[in-house]
Structure 1
Amino acid sequence: MDFFTTTASRFYAPVALGIWCANWETGCEALGIPGRFQVLTPEERGVRDAPDLPRYHVSWIGRATDAVAA
């Protein structure tokens, strides 16, 4: 799961993204879904020409386990 912001604001975007990621991680923990955040390079994401907006920030890398219900 990739996380993007759709504004170029230096102030709003980082705060909103931080809140979003904290809620995402808390929800995954509560549901027993393992994973971690990682910033991926454009090559790792398979992107050649990235537009200015939406702006990529971080990805959630999930790990499959037997504990996660299908």
Structure 2
Amino acid sequence: MKRLDFYSTTTSRFYAPAALGIWCANWETGCDALGIPGHFQVLTLEERGVSDAPELPRYHMSWIARADAVAV
């Protein structure tokens, strides 16, 4: 599975969600423009291969490329 994980390095309840929305929208737009199919998904610790989650950086979600996606 090819994926990109999105994290924030602040505990701000205001900045982090707004920034995350901008990051994800830009990422999805770029992938669409390049013809890279995929989707966003929130993965569990186990799915990410992580044993514990520190407070920072804080994981938010992952972009998972479709298995048949062509690398650019």
Report the alpha carbon displacement of residue 69 of structure 1 after superposing the two structures with TM: 5.2
Task: Work out the percentage of aligned pairs sharing the same amino acid.
Answer: 78
Map residues 1-70 of structure 1 onto 2, 5 A cutoff: 1-65=4-68, 68=70, 70=72
TM-score scaled to structure 1, two decimals? 0.91
Report the alpha carbon displacement of residue 50 of structure 1 after superposing the two structures with TM: 1.2
Question: Structure 1: where are the runs of 5+ without partners?
Answer: none
Write the distance in 2 (CA, Å) between the matches of 1:37 and 1:2: 10
Write the distance in 2 (CA, Å) between the matches of 1:62 and 1:41: 17
Change (3 A) 1:69 1:58: closer
The number of residue pairs the alignment matches comes to: 69
Larger Rg: 1
How well do the aligned residues superpose, as a CA RMSD in angstroms? 1.3
Runs ≥4 in structure 1, deviation > 3 angstroms?
A: none
Report the alpha carbon displacement of residue 7 of structure 1 after superposing the two structures with TM: 0.2
